[in-house]
Amino acid sequence: MLSTLKEQIALGSAEEYLSSLFEKIDKSRLNAFTTLDKERALSKAREFDKKPWHGRLAGVPVAIKECISTEGIQTTCSSRILKGYVPPYDACVVERLKADGAIVMGKTNMDEFAMGTSTENSAWGPTRNPWDLDAVPGGSSGGSAAAVAGGEAPCALGSDTGGSVRCPASFCGIVGLKPTYGLISRFGLIAYANSLEQIGPLTTTVEDTAILMEIIAGHDWRDSTSTPQENVSYLPDLKNGVKGLKVGVPKEYFGEGVDEDVKKAVWDAISVLEDLGVTRTEVSLPHTKYALPAYYIIAMSEASSNLARFDGLRYGLRIGEDKDWHTTFSEIRAAGFGPEVKRRILLGTYALSAGYYGRYYLKALKVRTLIKNDFLAALRGVDFLVGPTMPQPAFKIGEKVNDPLTMYMADVFTVPINLAGVPAISVPCGFAGKLPIGLQIMGRHFDEGTVLRAAQAFEEATPYHKKTPEVA
């Protein structure tokens, strides 16, 4: 918790606290970080100890996902093709964190170019789950989630294209928010699928998530998708409770393929909300079954276009002597991209090719509209929706990595939210054995206040967020 951290800094020093984190990371088996900015971070901490500056995150270390640009710190998207690339500028969210007093401690591991659900598709090796070192932490922001859950960072930023903040939050037993599309600037986020992705916080409590959201949200003229939201305020909503609110439970989110432990934990969570004064009603999101194919066509098509710029000719990987342009371009991309990235580029290029653009991509966009309309209709009569974040707890490392279709199916409850552009948060709601389970709370566009309010009420009424892994 950020409040706990401030107490620790008050008792000792920011430098001592940050040094203890770096020592823990150096001994860790999680592989949550790819790069640590020790020298600059410790220098900042020493400055803070000598003359503390103001800000809600003053002196607080923050971990940043590998696909978010950080001036002077290598940013590779966990891909060989960007090895050695050091951005000359900060992403908007990093600028805002620094302006509020935060100290960037390093970059966290991820699935290469955010393409994955397990953080196994990384050029720097897989990240491990702090609750079980043989299990995945979720993805693609698995490094950020594992770092927070494992006590290696008090908070972190991730990005969410189809569940990449909420999935690892669920698997690692922490809080992760995917904001409304356009609420947080994407300037400095290395693009995978522009129309779907959003930067979001990963923390140990809902209050900490609200604090980070107040700092990083808001309009940015450099991002054409950024909406004119200014001076967002969420903390006051957290005190209001949920008595009198209405919750919708989508019947499609409890069908075949959902683990029984997950079903029980989520229904128990719904009962807790009812005990707090929430009225429950069943709703329908009828086009949910089309969400996965629509999402992967759209995401892969956008990835095919976005990743065309990575050729090693201006920055990143270079191999051997230069040959003719086509040969050099092909050899660099063959060596620089991993198998999952290549798969998605090829599928996306196929979907956009002559004769198939209308058959696949345009049809997927129409399905996307239907899914968005499902959420608008379902939320018309209720204040928020709830369901499982993931259909199962964390699976074993290597269990699904060679079966991409099964891996994609794990995103069945997270991708509809990105297609619709609505906000959703994952909060811990139970355990399957020793592995955490996440409750997903979904809301109307730009109604993060209600989503956070419901999450806070549930968190205060349950003990799950207080539990920490013994493995890490």
Q: How far, in Å, CA of 117 to CA of 427, rounded?
A: 18
Q: State the catalytic residue, choosing from 78, 79, 122, 140.
A: 140
Active site annotation includes 372: no
Q: Measured between alpha carbons, how far is 1 from 6 in angstroms, rounded to an integer?
A: 9
Go through 330-354 and write b for each residue having 16 or more CB atoms within 10 A of its CB, e for each that does not.
Answer: ebbbeebbbebbeebbebbbebbee
Which of 190, 188, 217 has the alpha carbon at shortest distance from 201? 217
- Please state, in angstroms and rounded to a whole number, the distance separating the CA atoms of residues 131 and 469: 5
Residue tagged active-site, from 118, 159, 164, 226 = 164
Question: How far apart (Å, rounded) are the C-alpha atoms in residues 152 and 306?
Answer: 32
* C-alpha dihedral, 437 to 443 to 446 to 450, nearest 10°: -80
Asked if 304 and 350 count as a contact pair (C-beta separation under 8 A), the reply is no
User: Residue 343 and residue 364: Cα distance in Å, rounded?
Assistant: 19
Q: Which residues pair with 198 in a beta bridge?
A: 160
Q: Exposed, middle or buried, 281 (CB in 10 Å: 0-12/13-18/19+)? A: exposed
Q: Active site includes 65?
A: yes
Token pair, residue 144, equals: 């950020």
Number of residues written out for the chain: 472
Q: Which of 65, 98, 178, 400 is catalytic?
A: 65
Cα separation, 421 vs 46, in Å, equals 41
Residues contacting residue 435 through CB under 8 Å, at least 6 positions apart = 129, 131, 132, 135, 171, 393, 394
Compute the distance between CA of residue 260 and CA of residue 246 in angstroms, rounded to an integer: 25
Strand ranges (E), 219-328: 246-250, 279-283
Assess whether 271 carries a catalytic annotation. no
Quickly count: other Cβ atoms within 10 Å of residue 301's Cβ: 24
**Pair of tokens at residue 228:** 């004119």
Q: Give catalytic residues, as residue numbers.
A: 65, 140, 164
